[in-house]
Structure 1
């Protein structure tokens, strides 16, 4: 099984919260078995790193998307203390706005909400009897449960007490922990891509076979926001300002739920630990070889930076000399940070600590320079929405 396949399985089943899966041999209640698996891996690293020439006192934990959400959780989870010493969060979904109109299963959710989703999924696959639900769920074909993964199984942690007489795997949400300063004191790299939501709009269109229309755009905005706010958002982001309604929707959600949210998190984290903030911004980042391109430019979509750090079977990788140079720069930054806790060095452009500002390191082909995230994503406007 490939690493990506293992991650996918863990995301779908490692965070299922259901009372039939509680107790028994488990130390904690269900809902965070995925985090506990990751903690077991980190403990293995502590025991074995030296045998491979590694330093168990110098471990960097990082992840992208749902993996970044897990890193957020480990910064807070009591059982993760001492298991890593630096953290990298790429496009993490652990604070701020829940942009999905359906259950926001990618985010850390309170136990009652996560359990409700689990019970709903069990009922939908014919496992509603609590006395037999555990055996029933385990007997279900993986493919059947995967159908409901974005509804109830999700990919995010469960917040709240967890049995065994303790406070659980994740007693408080990362959002609250970051705001109050109660998290691991380790150096952090954190960032997003400039056009995060273009991937999700494209994926929905590819799965449904339907292109986002003006009516779809208006309906989605009215679903996400209160009526008075929705009207203001539509006036600020009119569909005719963009190449298509799908691009308009992607821009709204990118600005609202990604760009401005991560900026708030940068400020919260940097009050307590060295935080190096970035935005990946390659307008021509190669698109997936396995997914149809939408009718709008995909630009620096969610996950597009991964091919600049790793070989990825779904992404073609850098194509131009400038993109290859950007990949080398990013690898140097990430590797130097993993070694020292500071990405600077090896002749790369200086990357200042975030501090109290709003500028982040913009990672572009041909140049690396500060970017004003608040201006790019219209955060002054978004501060007035929902307030």
Structure 2
């Protein structure tokens, strides 16, 4: 059951994956113009959409194929003439859907997309936002995220990035030594591309905000603590993922293991040696074994087992010397302004995906799940989250997991930053729209409303994400407010602006009184809340000790 569930999580948090061979986007229409920009590797032709232009499928590194598989990203080749940048490049190889036989995506996938306003006053440099997509390090693509609202309303340049996934991005082996995570190296290569090329698109390479959701937020956390990312970005936004995010045993289903998003290098190498044995690559020395592995076809590697066995970035290398949570606690992180936040009902997405296989209909079902996750502490957790205080036992379970895995770990990460860098601009939020449109593809259950579940804030920033219904007028107004907050922060390091509800700083004191900005539609929907108390964080902090 774990493979299909991980696949569903990857696909839903990264939006729907198109069928193999399907075009990513329609060609430019007759009413659209073209525009050409010079990059450090050659000129690219994008599409003008009136108030903004898009440039898709720009290579930022060489294809990591053949002898370049499982190596740091190499420079892309320069080109003559004008390169077409009117359609996205293929997505990186994805976690296969259950029962699928064809590989989705390509190993030749290290491309990025740029969205920029067409109006470009002389000498003006706009802030640059670089988006790292989510998808459990198993799925997703930068092209899934249409950034025109952030670009036009926010007057910013937005870059969305593909990076290697699964076994192609996070494989390790004794023969590779302490190689950094290849997917994270890809992301830093993209950030270096931005440093060299942002100016050509009207952006300021000295004002770059790195932001991401879920695995993209975990990536952002990694770069915050990575010595090799120094100077590559000046601000960071982490949506639904922090340096301390983790899941207890049983969170994804009875008997499933605990989840820590980062793994020790030695553990990844051990898993890689076992994978090599299973693939028949055991003869000769390290060079021969690696040559055998690099000679394997994409389809032999892009299996559910191998992809989900290598979806945790390794630490213990030059990019991540120690686990990001440890680096944060010891003060080894870049001093840049940070926004970090979660959604009010994060785990309802994960629980909703598993209810058909693992229903939670009764209080006994609920208690069994608590015992699976928390062992002897289960009665104490139940006392904090009694089933009778929630509409259903399944919603009680989702609330406990949300607080344990997302809200309180994110607030703890904020405290660690504030303690070690007390003068650093630091802001927290909670997306709290109980009627947020449901992401397409989630199973419907009338007795299990999704509320503000994992990923549900993204359509308020990116208009392209598929949902079961469009935003209401009130939700459009919230979307405008969020775009203004995010892009204002990118511009100055402070999300506040005239006429907007004031967003206070997070502080190191515990608890954190009414300092998290609640984001919900309607009059008074944007206001400060005491998330620490509302989500039982004093209890969970005690559990972690």
Counterpart residue number, 1:165: none
Q: TM-score with structure 1 length normalisation?
A: 0.86
Query: Is residue 221 from structure 1 mapped to residue 375 from structure 2 by the alignment?
Result: no
* DSSP-derived class of the 2:433 partner: coil
Q: If each structure's strand is expressed as a fraction of its own residues, which one has the higher value?
A: 2
Closer/same/farther in 2, CA of residues 81 and 299 from structure 1, 3 Å limit:
same
Q: Separation in 1 of the partners of 2:375 and 2:294? A: 37
Aligned partners of 2:440 and 2:468 also within 8 Å: yes
Aligned partners of 1:20 and 1:133 also within 8 Å: no
* DSSP-derived class of the 2:457 partner: helix
Aligned partners of 2:403 and 2:537 also within 8 Å: yes
Q: Separation in 1 of the partners of 2:378 and 2:518? A: 30
* DSSP-derived class of the 1:112 partner: helix
Gaps of 5+ in 1: 24-28, 162-167
Query: Is residue 376 from structure 1 mapped to residue 531 from structure 2 by the alignment?
Result: no
Aligned partners of 2:348 and 2:398 also within 8 Å: yes
Gaps of 5+ in 2: 1-89, 92-111, 113-132, 134-139, 143-161, 251-255
Of 479, 483, 504, 1:352 maps to 504
Coordinate RMSD, CA, aligned: 2.7
* DSSP-derived class of the 1:59 partner: strand
Q: Separation in 1 of the partners of 2:280 and 2:467? A: 38
Q: Separation in 2 of the partners of 1:364 and 1:130? A: 59
Q: If each structure's helix is expressed as a fraction of its own residues, which one has the higher value?
A: 1
Higher relative contact order (CA 8 A, sep 6+): 1
Of 266, 276, 290, 1:112 maps to 266
Within 5 Å, which residues of 2 pair with 1:252-263? 252-263=400-411
Counterpart residue number, 2:382: 234
Counterpart residue number, 1:6: 141
Closer/same/farther in 2, CA of residues 152 and 217 from structure 1, 3 Å limit:
farther
Deviation at 1:266, TM superposition (A): 1.4
**CA deviation profile, 1:94-134 (whole Å, cap 9, x unmatched):** 215433544556612222233344455556x6457375476
Within 5 Å, which residues of 2 pair with 1:161-310? 161=317, 168-205=318-355, 208=357, 210-214=358-362, 215-227=364-376, 229-271=377-419, 272=421, 273-294=424-445, 295-310=447-462
Greater shift after overlay, 377-386 or 267-276? 377-386
Superposed structure 1 runs of 4+ greater than 6 Å apart: none
Count of paired positions: 371
Greater shift after overlay, 138-147 or 11-20? 138-147
Counterpart residue number, 2:130: none
Structure 1 or 2, whichever has the larger Rg, is 2
Aligned partners of 1:16 and 1:30 also within 8 Å: no
Q: TM-score with structure 2 length normalisation?
A: 0.63
Q: Separation in 2 of the partners of 1:130 and 1:315? A: 50
